[in-house]
Amino acid sequence: MRAASATVSSPLPPDIRLMNAVTAVLLLGALLLAAGLSLRWVSRLPVFAIRAIQVEGDVSRNSAASLRANALPQLSGSFLSMSLQQGREAFEAVPWVRRAVVQRVWPNQLKVQLEEHKPAAYWETKAEGADANSDATVERRLVNSFGEVFQANLGDVEDEDLPVLAGPAGTAASMLHMWQRLQQASRAMDDSIDRLDLSGRGSWRITLDKGAVIELGRGEEDEVLARYAQLVRTVTQLTSRFQAPLLSADLRHADGYAVRLQGYSTVAKPVKSNKPAVAAAKPAAAGAGTIRN
């Protein structure tokens, strides 16, 4: 009987194994480079050039010409190579565009969904340290419906009845919310708020559409609104009695408020009921008076 023979393979020397590994890595690198160059070459073929851009969404503020002039020069690459992030930034840099979503549509189109800013107010940033009565402001811009400050041509909204918000940097959203609440309260006296100021120390002041200036003072939002609601409920008794429009009011008093009426000086008397009382008025250029509850 013949004995079975067995073959035993010895391991490759370390230097041979290292050479094989280096060769495999170099081969893989060469294949990846070739694939990348091929893809780059393919992406530059005329068939993949961007032929059309489909724009949807809010386009009331931007025409096709303005989008073409502002966004297209910022786009680079073909359908395959263009960065969608770059495309989004290019369209969001166009005036009035708040948000853009860019998608590829095979084989050579882009689809852009636009959301435009909806202007809610003018915005003026108060200079550092300025109070509510100060006129020291910087460049006027716009505030959108989200309370975001943005830059646009103010001439585009000159026919729109927008209020002015003026306050410290970073307060536009809270000021817009405060204006909306105060505006709702102002309707009870058939007026609207033309301007709202907030000082760096947190003091509020409003200017009504009919010209009256009202100092609201400081405090939590609900507290300030409660003081204003008291004025709205009672000031018509003064204006009706003296047949004179309101010039100004100061609500920064603990037990009432002071008012100035055009052509009259009002002086407070002690009251015994819940209704505000006003002493007899005498003609004056402009005077101050107080209503106490």
Q: Degrees (nearest 5) of the Cα angle 243, 208, 260? A: 45
Write down the pLDDT at residue 292.
39
Per DSSP, the three-state class of 66 is helix
Strands (E) located in the chain: 52-57, 97-105, 109-116, 119-126, 137-144, 149-150, 164-167, 193-198, 204-208, 213-217, 246-253, 256-265, 282-286, 289-292
- Report the pLDDT value the prediction gives residue 255, as an integer from 0 to 100: 81
Q: What pLDDT sits at residue 40?
A: 57
Q: What is the pLDDT of residue 5?
A: 52
What average pLDDT values come out for the chain (293 residues) when binned by 10 residues?
Answer: 55 73 76 63 57 89 87 84 91 94 90 96 79 69 97 93 95 98 94 96 96 96 96 90 92 89 63 40 37 39
Task: Cite the residue boundaries of each domain of the chain with CATH code 3.10.20.310.
Answer: 49-116
pLDDT of 270: 45
Instruction: Write the burial class of residue 197 (CB in 10 Å: 0-12 exposed, 13-18 middle, 19+ buried).
Output: buried
Q: Using CA of residue 232, residue 234, residue 236, residue 238, what is the dihedral sign?
A: negative
Model pTM score: 0.73
What does the block give as tokens for 234?
Answer: 């009672």
Which pLDDT score is estimated for 80? 79
Superfamily of domain 49-116: membrane protein fhac (3.10.20.310)
CATH topology of domain 119-292: Rossmann fold (3.40.50)
What are the backbone dihedrals phi and psi of residue 282, each rounded to the nearest 5 degrees, phi first? Answer: -120, 150
Domain with CATH 3.40.50.11690 in the chain: 119-292
Q: In this predicted structure, what is the pLDDT of residue 277?
A: 37
Cα separation, 46 vs 132, in Å, equals: 61
Q: How many CB atoms lie within 10 A of CB 36?
A: 10
Question: For residue 184, how many C-alpha atoms fall within 13 Å in the half-sphere facing its CB?
Answer: 7
Give residue 133's pLDDT.
67
